[in-house]
Amino acid sequence: MVTFDASKFNLPFMKYRKIAYAISLTAILLSIGLLVVKGLNPSVDFTGGLVFQIRFEQPVEVVNVRSSLSEVGFGQATIQAYDDHDILIRLQAEDEEARKVVLDTLKQSLGDFTVQKIDKVGPVVGKELRQQALISLVLALAGILLYMAFRFRFRFGVAAVLSLVHDSIIMLGMYSLTGKEISVTFIAAVLTVIGYSLNDSIVVLDRVRENWSQIRGKGPLELVDNSINQTLSRTVNTSVTTLLPVLAMYFFGGEVISNFAFAFIIGIVVGTYSSVYIASAIVADWYLRSPKY
């Protein structure tokens, strides 16, 4: 039944940890750079505004939609085409009139359509949703930290937290890079991924702890390497089995779910890498600098 046993390979992970640090550091710096320069693309949930998803009966071009919107003063709207019938329009407008004006204008110039979706978020609600998102991020992180403080010894906890911070920054960087929308569902995805990617760290670090009695003979690098290799097949397999349905969501789940799945894909991939490399390498290097437990 055993088709494959990853621990047999005994891969020398720690040998390449400096390279991994360099990659991670670069990714983090790039992400922070992107966040500063390009920023994120918050959805109407947070900015307030108006989104229409419209299915036209006749094929339409984005250019035509834009020109007819310009006539009524909404030339700066974000217009996106899913296909030649389906258009997404996003604009910053507070009053009820804007909705009617936009729909009337489009009907006049581009023919009949059905409104698939309207999202209108007023500035007050946008502000509230921003606050809620912030509070839930802080609370969830606090909860997870508390749990880890109770679960891990100090150094292991710090290592796991650092790898979570690493994951989160890179995830935000990817969202900045791709310009994907930060919506309320993104916050949900981030929190879930943070909770989830901790699993891999727990699996690896638990094994390090179990093997800790061999620290004098093997030294931290070999010990960590052994631990990673012993747990490698479960780290990889749990990530793969979670990734499979998430990929199915990304490719077949439709617009909203696909956006949601994107966060999970990044989170799972980066999270798996960081719990193998970042969390355990930090534990090993820390011991090398000050050999305490």
Length of the chain: 293
What number of other Cβ atoms are within 10 A of residue 50's Cβ?
Answer: 23
Q: Which of 205, 207, 220, 227 is nearest to 289 (CA)?
A: 220
Instruction: Single out the residue of 165, 195, 212, 222 in contact with another protein (rule: CB under 8 A).
Output: 195
Instruction: Single out the residue of 5, 36, 213, 293 in contact with another protein (rule: CB under 8 A).
Output: 5
Instruction: Single out the residue of 14, 91, 171, 203 in contact with another protein (rule: CB under 8 A).
Output: 203
96: CB partners within 8 A, 6+ apart: none
CB of 118 to another protein, least distance (A): 4
Position of tokens 């990817």? 174
How is residue 179 annotated by DSSP?
T
Nearer to another protein, 77 or 187 (CB): 187
Quick check: 46 binds another protein (CB under 8 A)?
no
Quick check: 230 binds another protein (CB under 8 A)?
yes
Instruction: Single out the residue of 130, 233, 269, 285 in contact with another protein (rule: CB under 8 A).
Output: 233
Q: Which of 49, 197, 219 is nearest to 122 (CA)?
A: 49
Nearer to another protein, 160 or 221 (CB): 160
58: CB partners within 8 A, 6+ apart: 85, 110, 111, 112
CB of 34 to another protein, least distance (A): 25
For residue 291 the two structure tokens come to 């050999």
Quick check: 257 binds another protein (CB under 8 A)?
yes
Q: Helix, strand or coil for residue 224?
A: helix
Residue 87's H or E segment, with its range, is: strand 86-91
Amino acid at the residue 232: L
**By CB under 8 A, which span of 29-37, 74-82, 234-242, 283-291 interacts with another protein?**
234-242
Q: Helix, strand or coil for residue 50?
A: strand
Quick check: 140 binds another protein (CB under 8 A)?
yes
CB of 63 to another protein, least distance (A): 15
Q: Per-residue string for binding with another protein, 92-131, x by CB under 8 A?
A: ----x--xx--x----------xxxxxxxxx-xx---x--
Q: Per-residue string for binding with another protein, 6-45, x by CB under 8 A?
A: ----------------------------------------
Quick check: 218 binds another protein (CB under 8 A)?
no
Size of the site for another protein (CB under 8 A): 72
Helix pair angle (154-178, 17-37), 10° resolution? 50
